[in-house]
């Protein structure tokens, strides 16, 4: 065993820097094997199934009006939710980093609730609150506004699951903003509002954009917390992941694969964009996250 | 602009950082606040800037009471040790910032702001770098940008907090000379904080030596160096040797021997004798300070020896010509040319 | 007099902070948003669970399907989490202790599952093992069911929780460098001894932190598991799936009773996570937060 590992290591010699620490072949080998079995091969299966449709078939499945409708619902709602999260997430990060008040650390811990709470639980809880007879839904029902079972409900659920991404991306960067920079701005005659809007917020911009992209990406793919509150009416409140599930129930595997491929391509582009933002900001300003 | 600090006291959480400090800064002078860390020099600078508010006392800019004003209203230029440049703005944007944030009524037109920023960029010898970001400049260049940014608002007073503290020795010396030149050209009243006595002596018109929240001495570099008014200043500025002595019959005595130095008007009893190691003469007279060499090392063009004086083991440092033959255990006798007596504590 | 007062008021405001009223306004907005968006849903879970009294709550939990769902969820987590721990430790060892080409790319790949919709994470296994695939019928001929059975649920769970342990350990082990291991090796320890006695004690709190987050997600996963489980009552329904079924059958009390167990799990996770951050912040290398 150890002989074969070391012979592997010798062959790998050129692509890794020599080290006295053992276990490179074993751990990297296991990592790659496990990754291939769990992630890579299944994703390839998805690509193969989508390709099985042929270019025309794929195009037809991907541009089916109901598919386009579902993608539109998912992306537009996610955009709204991420925008709301950027505003409130920045505000919350600001309050948590800058101010001292009773309960701050508990507040800080609760921000991660959407990471920890199972999405289905969040989904039924949000539905209970925003349904016409729920705590908040009842406030709006007399005005004729419905939140649950409409696109508004989708956005609420997406805000819920996206919030920590924005807060947790901005928080560490805000902590690093030097006090001296703010003092410098004040000595140059800038009012506090000018210092915040012209000095601090612009220097947080890379983090804010990254947080936005992360929250957006998460919201687009979200399923569990959305389907209960969404109403799921095609073209109005039917999200793309739900349509995948519906296609599967119809045993239209290729159709499901086509939608999934479109969504994956868009998520990867987003991921790529996040990396670009960070690389660009590191290169130009000397910081990123 | 003349600045008067009047009986200022500053406490942080009940802990006093400055006790009853008063200082008159003359219009157009370059004054250094010099002291070890914790002496309150930076606190004094920040109080003048308005970045801190005094617990007691007042600060006047000319005849107006500046302690009633916020930092924004005081119109000061402040340069930080770590530059504090806005890293998401270009150099030009950094320098123009103070003019751009002015209310519309006092803001110069955009082309005028640009012209002035370019002019300042030229003054600090960074023409051509206006589109760079701070991250792309060296430390020395960044500090020049910081100075240009502070000068852009035509400040009443220019305040610098250890401006060269983060730079390496070579760049420090260059920037020191250059800051003096800029000051002579622009004539701003300038206060800078430093813990480096060499920097303070070389650069300033006057020094203000501080220790433990108090001002020890204010004066020109020559006055402070030649006539220190306290043991602290003698010890802090330049090299010094100290020896406990006794005053009797208007003479100084060490270990039961008169050393040939008159006591002047000092009262009899115990006292502390201070002198500069380089300011001594070797003599063979009976009335002198005599000791045995305990260590000897070459320092540049001189030889610095440590002498053990008398039986009590008091050590003093004395500079000799580098080719002086004194070695271990050699007996040497000398007398300071200039000295200063302070009462024993 | 009036000018004196305004001056005094100005004094109390540091030039690098906002005035008190502005601070309280912002804090108020933050609390309001958090209260409505985060705390209210949490409260609603428990409120609905106990709406019809404590008896109904326990009746809901005692039902045999609910019991089966709880057992299945624990079983799935008990398989998926250890596998991801082994993977996480191996991957972070390879990445943090060695320099090799393509390392940055490998780190990006490990994060990949985070950017895949849970539904797609389940779908890929349906495509791999379902009708019309090559593998599914092949395994079926040997009597092995993957889809609509435990293996499929476990695979989907592993997929969605794949990065948790690794992304916690990689930055931590990179921070710690290789000095300790080299010292142990130079003192004559072999590789395994070095790992068990030197590396593991250094990373134990970070590892625990990763396990905590991994476990919370494993027990709570819904979308991916929903696609592969087939939702056979009492057999392939995990707790979140059982919650959905009960909810869709208008059995709200039972659904929320089971949901409240999951919410408790989330709360315990948050408390432990926060305790770890406070107590061992340095040894967790927070910032890699998810």
Going from the C-alpha of C85 to that of each of A29, A163, C160, C167, C209, the distances in angstroms are 16, 28, 14, 11, 11
Residues 142-181 of A with CB under 8 A from C: 159-160, 163, 168, 172, 179
* CB within 8 Å: B53 and C11: yes
Least confident of B3-17, B32-46, B255-269: B255-269
Number of domains chain A contains: 2
pLDDT value of residue A12:
54
ipTM: 0.91
A136 lies in the same domain as A223: yes
pLDDT value of residue C285:
62
User: Domain ends where: A54, A73, A93?
Assistant: A54
Phi-psi group of B38: left, alpha or beta (phi > 0 → left; psi -120 to 50 → alpha; rest → beta) = left
Answer yes or no: is A14 within a domain: no
Answer yes or no: is A172 within a domain: yes
A269 lies in the same domain as A180: yes
Strand B269-275: give its sheet, edge to edge: B257-262, B251-254, B241-248, B269-275, B340-343
User: Sign of the C-alpha dihedral, residues A91, A92, A97, A99?
Assistant: positive
| pLDDT at residue C4 greater than cutoff 50 | no
* A60 contacts chain C (CB < 8 A): no
A47 lies in the same domain as A177: no
* C35 contacts chain A (CB < 8 A): no
pLDDT value of residue B300:
82
| pLDDT at residue A10 greater than cutoff 90 | no
* Nearest CB to A188; choose among B50, B82, B97: B97
pLDDT value of residue B264:
81
Confidence of residue C6 (pLDDT cuts 50, 70, 90): very low
Give the model confidence (pLDDT) of C174-233 as tens digits.
Answer: 988 899 999 999 999 998 999 999 999 999 999 999 999 999 999 999 999 999 998 898
What 3-state DSSP class applies to A7?
helix
Contact residues on chain C for A75, CB-CB shorter than 8 A? none
Interface residue of B53, B78, B80, B84 to substitute, partner C, most C CBs within 10 Å:
B53
How many contacts (CB atoms, under 8 Å) link A and B? 75
A221 lies in the same domain as A256: yes
Is B313 or A204 the better-scoring residue by pLDDT? A204
Confidence of residue C289 (pLDDT cuts 50, 70, 90): very low
pLDDT value of residue B266:
80
Minimum CA–CA partner of B107 in chain A: A189
| pLDDT at residue A267 greater than cutoff 70 | yes
Residues 6+ positions from B124 with CB-CB distance below 8 Å: B144, B145, B147, B148, B182
Percentage of residues of chain B with pLDDT beyond 90: 62
Touching subunits of A (3+ CB pairs, under 8 Å) are B, C
A153 lies in the same domain as A198: yes
| pLDDT at residue C24 greater than cutoff 50 | yes
Give the model confidence (pLDDT) of A88-139 as tens digits.
Answer: 999 999 999 999 999 999 999 999 999 999 999 999 999 999 999 999 999 9
What distance in Å separates the CA atoms of residue A212 and residue A83, rounded to the nearest whole number?
Answer: 7
Going from the C-alpha of C110 to that of each of A36, A171, C2, C115, C178, the distances in angstroms are 11, 24, 64, 11, 22
Answer yes or no: is A246 within a domain: yes
A132 lies in the same domain as A272: yes
Touching subunits of B (3+ CB pairs, under 8 Å) are A, C
A262 lies in the same domain as A215: yes
Confidence of residue B344 (pLDDT cuts 50, 70, 90): confident
- Minimal C-alpha gap between A88 and chain B (Å): 23
Residues 100-139 of A with CB under 8 A from C: 101, 105, 107, 109-122, 124-126, 128-129, 134-136
Answer yes or no: is A201 within a domain: yes
pLDDT value of residue B254:
86
Q: Residue A281 sits in a domain of what CATH number?
A: 1.10.3720.10
State the DSSP H helix or E strand holding residue B216, giving kind and residue range, or none if neither: strand B214-219
Minimum CA–CA partner of B160 in chain A: A184
Average pLDDT estimate for B261-284: 87
pLDDT value of residue B214:
94
Least confident of A175-184, B150-159, B263-272, C53-62: B263-272
Q: Are B157 and B188 in contact (CB under 8 A)?
A: yes
User: Domain ends where: A36, A54, A72?
Assistant: A54
Give the model confidence (pLDDT) of B149-190 as tens digits.
Answer: 999 999 999 999 999 988 888 899 889 999 999 999 999 999
Going from the C-alpha of B184 to that of each of B113, B118, B333, C219, the distances in angstroms are 24, 20, 47, 73
pLDDT value of residue C184:
93
A34 lies in the same domain as A122: no
Average pLDDT estimate for B203-223: 95
Answer yes or no: is A261 within a domain: yes
Give the model confidence (pLDDT) of C75-134 as tens digits.
Answer: 999 999 999 999 999 999 999 999 999 998 999 899 889 889 999 999 999 999 988 788
Residues 6+ positions from A90 with CB-CB distance below 8 Å: A166, A170, A201, A204, A208
pLDDT value of residue A277:
85
pLDDT value of residue A279:
85
| pLDDT at residue A7 greater than cutoff 90 | no
Q: Which two tokens stand for residue B122?
A: 């030229």
pLDDT value of residue A177:
87
Minimum CA–CA partner of C4 in chain B: B68
A82 lies in the same domain as A181: yes
A214 lies in the same domain as A173: yes
Contact residues on chain C for B72, CB-CB shorter than 8 A? 15
Least confident of A269-273, B322-326, C31-35, C43-47: B322-326
Residues 6+ positions from B36 with CB-CB distance below 8 Å: B195, B211, B236
Answer yes or no: is A8 within a domain: no
A100 lies in the same domain as A127: yes
pLDDT value of residue B331:
86
- Minimal C-alpha gap between A50 and chain C (Å): 10
Contact residues on chain C for B49, CB-CB shorter than 8 A? none
Length of chain C in terms of residues written:
290
Contact residues on chain C for A228, CB-CB shorter than 8 A? 244, 247
pLDDT value of residue C238:
96
Give the range of the structural domain holding residue A194, as residue numbers without chain letter: 63-285
State the DSSP H helix or E strand holding residue B245, giving kind and residue range, or none if neither: strand B241-248
- Minimal C-alpha gap between C174 and chain A (Å): 14
A41 lies in the same domain as A161: no
Nearest alpha carbon to residue A156 among A109, A205, A91, A88: A88
Q: What is the mean pLDDT of chain C?
A: 90
What distance in Å separates the CA atoms of residue B89 and residue B131, rounded to the nearest whole number?
Answer: 9
* C219 contacts chain A (CB < 8 A): yes
* Nearest CB to A92; choose among C33, C40, C108: C33
| pLDDT at residue A167 greater than cutoff 70 | yes
- Minimal C-alpha gap between C72 and chain A (Å): 16
Question: Which phi and psi angles does B3 have, rounded to 5°?
Answer: -125, 130
Contact residues on chain B for C7, CB-CB shorter than 8 A? 68
User: Sign of the C-alpha dihedral, residues A184, A186, A192, A194?
Assistant: negative
Minimum CA–CA partner of B46 in chain C: C15
pLDDT value of residue A5:
53
Average pLDDT estimate for B229-252: 90
Average pLDDT estimate for A149-172: 96
**What is the reported pTM?**
0.88
Answer yes or no: is A16 within a domain: no
Residues 121-160 of C with CB under 8 A from A: 123-128, 130-133, 155, 158-159
Answer yes or no: is A224 within a domain: yes
* CB within 8 Å: A189 and B75: yes
């Amino acid at each position: 065993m150890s002989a074969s590992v070391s012979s592997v290591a010798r062959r790998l010699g050129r692509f890794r820097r020599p080290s006295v620490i053992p276990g490179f072949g074993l751990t990297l080998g296991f990592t790659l094997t496990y990754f291939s079995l769990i992630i890579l091969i299944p994703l390839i299966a998805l690509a193969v199934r989508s390709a099985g449709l042929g270019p025309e078939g794929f195009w037809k499945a991907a541009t089916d009006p109901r598919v386009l409708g579902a993608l539109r619902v998912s992306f537009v709602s996610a955009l709204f939710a991420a925008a709301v999260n950027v505003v409130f997430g920045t505000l919350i990060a600001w309050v948590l980093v800058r101010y001292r008040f009773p309960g701050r650390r508990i507040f800080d811990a609760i921000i991660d609730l959407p990471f920890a709470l199972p999405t289905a639980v969040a989904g039924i809880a949000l539905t209970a609150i925003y349904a016409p007879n729920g705590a908040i839904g009842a406030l709006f029902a007399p005005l004729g506004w419905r939140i649950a079972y409409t696109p508004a409900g989708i956005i609420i659920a997406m805000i819920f699951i996206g919030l920590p991404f924005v807060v947790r991306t901005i928080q560490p960067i805000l902590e690093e903003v030097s006090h001296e920079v703010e003092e410098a701005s004040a000595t140059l005659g800038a009012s506090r509002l000018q210092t915040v809007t012209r000095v601090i917020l612009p220097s947080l911009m890379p983090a804010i954009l990254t947080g936005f992209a992360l929250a957006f990406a998460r919201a687009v793919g979200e399923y569990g917390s959305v389907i209960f509150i969404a109403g799921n009416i095609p073209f109005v409140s039917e999200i793309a992941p739900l349509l995948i599930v519906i296609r599967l129930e119809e045993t239209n595997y290729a159709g499901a694969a086509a939608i999934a491929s479109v969504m994956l391509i868009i998520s990867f582009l987003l991921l790529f964009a996040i990396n670009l933002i960070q690389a660009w900001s590191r290169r130009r300003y000397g910081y990123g996250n | 602009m003349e600045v008067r600090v009047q009986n200022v006291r500053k406490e942080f959480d009940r802990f006093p950082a400055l006790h009853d400090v008063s200082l008159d800064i003359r219009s157009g002078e370059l004054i250094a606040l010099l002291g070890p860390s914790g002496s309150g020099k930076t606190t004094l600078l920040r109080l003048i800037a308005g970045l801190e508010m005094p617990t007691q006392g007042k600060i006047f800019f000319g005849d107006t009471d500046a302690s009633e004003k916020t930092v924004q209203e005081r119109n000061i230029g402040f340069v930080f040790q770590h530059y504090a440049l806005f890293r998401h703005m270009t150099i030009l944007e950094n320098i123009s910032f103070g003019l751009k944030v002015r209310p519309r009524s006092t803001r110069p037109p955009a082309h005028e702001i640009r012209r002035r920023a370019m002019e300042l960029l030229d003054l600090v010898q960074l023409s051509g770098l206006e589109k760079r970001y701070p991250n792309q400049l060296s430390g020395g260049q960044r500090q020049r940008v910081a100075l240009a940014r502070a000068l852009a608002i035509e400040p009443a007073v220019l305040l610098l907090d250890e401006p060269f503290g983060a730079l390496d020795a070579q760049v420090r010396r260059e920037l020191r000379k250059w800051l003096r030149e800029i000051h002579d050209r622009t004539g701003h009243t300038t206060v800078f904080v430093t813990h480096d006595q060499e920097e303070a002596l070389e650069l300033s018109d006057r020094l203000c030596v501080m220790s433990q929240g108090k001002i020890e001495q204010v004066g020109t570099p020559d006055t402070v160096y030649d006539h220190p008014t306290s043991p602290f200043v003698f010890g802090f500025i330049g090299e010094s040797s100290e020896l406990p002595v006794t005053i009797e019959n208007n003479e100084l005595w060490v270990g039961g021997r008169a050393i040939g130095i008159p006591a002047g008007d000092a009262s009899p009893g115990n006292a502390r004798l201070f002198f500069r190691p380089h300011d001594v003469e070797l003599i063979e007279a009976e009335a002198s300070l005599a000791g045995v060499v305990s260590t000897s090392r070459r320092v540049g063009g001189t030889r610095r020896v440590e002498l053990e004086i008398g039986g009590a083991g008091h050590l003093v440092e004395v500079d000799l010509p580098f080719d002086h033959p004194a070695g271990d255990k050699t007996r040497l006798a000398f007398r300071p040319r200039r000295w200063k007596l302070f009462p024993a504590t | 007099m009036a000018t004196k007062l305004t001056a005094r008021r100005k004094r109390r405001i540091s030039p690098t902070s906002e005035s008190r009223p502005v601070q309280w306004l912002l804090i108020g907005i933050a609390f309001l948003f958090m209260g409505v968006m985060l705390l209210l849903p949490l409260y609603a879970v428990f409120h609905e669970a106990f709406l019809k009294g404590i008896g109904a709550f326990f009746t809901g939990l005692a039902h045999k399907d609910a019991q089966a769902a709880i057992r299945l969820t624990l079983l799935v987590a008990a398989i998926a989490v250890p596998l991801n721990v082994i993977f996480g430790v191996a991957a972070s060892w390879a990445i943090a202790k060695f320099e090799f080409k393509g390392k940055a790319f490998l780190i990006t790949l490990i994060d990949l599952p985070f950017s895949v919709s849970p539904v797609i994470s389940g779908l890929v296994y349906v495509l791999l093992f379902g009708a019309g695939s090559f593998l599914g019928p092949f395994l079926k001929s040997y009597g092995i069911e993957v889809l609509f059975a435990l293996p499929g649920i476990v695979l989907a769970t592993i997929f969605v929780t794949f990065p948790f342990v690794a992304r916690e350990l990689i930055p931590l082990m990179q921070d710690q460098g290789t000095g300790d291991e080299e010292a142990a090796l130079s003192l004559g320890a072999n590789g395994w001894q070095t790992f068990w006695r030197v590396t593991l004690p250094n990373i134990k709190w970070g590892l625990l932190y990763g396990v905590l987050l991994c476990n919370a997600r494993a027990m709570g996963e819904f979308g991916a598991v929903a696609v592969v489980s087939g939702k056979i009552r009492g057999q392939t329904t995990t707790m979140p799936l059982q919650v959905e079924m009960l909810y869709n059958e208008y059995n709200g009390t039972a659904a929320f009773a089971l949901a409240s167990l999951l919410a408790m799990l989330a709360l315990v996770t948050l408390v432990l996570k926060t305790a770890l951050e406070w107590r061992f912040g340095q040894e967790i290398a927070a910032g890699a937060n998810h």
